[in-house]
Amino acid sequence: MTLSDEARSRLADVVELQPTKNSELQDRWAMDSGSDVHSYLTGELSDYTFRDDNSLIRATAEAADLVDVEPGVEPGEDGDGVGTVRVTELQAAVIEVLPGPDGRSMSVVAVLQALREETDRDPDVEEVRSALQRLRRQEAVEVEYRAVPTFRLAMAREDLTVEIKD
């Protein structure tokens, strides 16, 4: 299957953002709805994308080779779990302030306050929530449900390699 320049560019987005959701691609591609994204994926990129067990969109290994883009998440050395995540600067800062897997998980507001206290960042609560959810999809962060959802690292900090995307 030969891809247009637009399709190749959009496939690169899927590889970079994986695992991702329709809404993330909708924002990236300036589409009107998640249905438009779904239609595009099934019509133009069906040979190179699939949905995993959690209905998240992923690219095939062939797709990553085709577009020569580093995937958003790579498995650890043992092939099990996350080894490397490629994230934004805000997401990297969130990783730095979150407790480890044995620590007490933090609410979105607590993460926001920690970012403001420990870094020179002043994000709004929606940016922090979005960063936490993205890291959760990448399996770098886990959620614990108490009175509100709370978050902590899913693995020891030293077992996670964080690369900041340009």
Per-residue model confidence as pLDDT tens digits over 38-64: 999 999 999 999 998 889 999 988 888
Band the pLDDT of 37: cuts 50, 70, 90.
very high
Cβ contact 87:162 at 8 Å? yes
From the list 54, 45, 53, 5, the residue with the least C-alpha distance to 25 is 45
Structure confidence at residue 1 (pLDDT): 62
- Cα separation, 131 vs 127, in Å, equals 6
Structure confidence at residue 78 (pLDDT): 63
Residues whose CB is less than 8 angstroms from the CB of residue 97 and which lie 6 or more positions away in sequence, other chains included: 106, 111, 114, 115, 118, 119
pLDDT greater at residue 83 or residue 16? 16
- Cα separation, 152 vs 98, in Å, equals 5
pTM over 0.85: no
